[in-house]
Amino acid sequence: MTNQRTFLLLITLIGLTLANCDVKPSESNIENTVRDYIKTYQERKNYKKFLSFYSDEIVFEDILNGNRAIGKDNFKLNFDWENPHLVLLTSKPYEVEDLIIQNNQATITGYFNPFKWHDQNIEAMYFTTILTFDEDQKIVKHVNWVNYPPSLLNLISKGNANLWINQN
Domains of the chain in sequence order = 26-150 (3.10.450.50)
Higher pLDDT, residue 117 or 49: 49
Mean of the per-residue pLDDT values of the chain: 83
**C-alpha torsion angle, residues 132, 144, 66, 118 (rounded to 10):** -140
Instruction: Give residue-wise pLDDT tens across range 115-163.
Output: 998 888 999 999 999 999 999 999 999 999 999 988 777 766 777 878 8
pLDDT at 23 over 70: no
Of 10-19, 30-39, 86-95, 153-162, give the lowest mean pLDDT range: 10-19
Q: What is the arithmetic mean of pLDDT over 57-69?
A: 93
Beta-sheet strands, E only, within the chain: 54-62, 67-70, 86-88, 94-102, 105-112, 115-117, 120-122, 125-133, 139-146
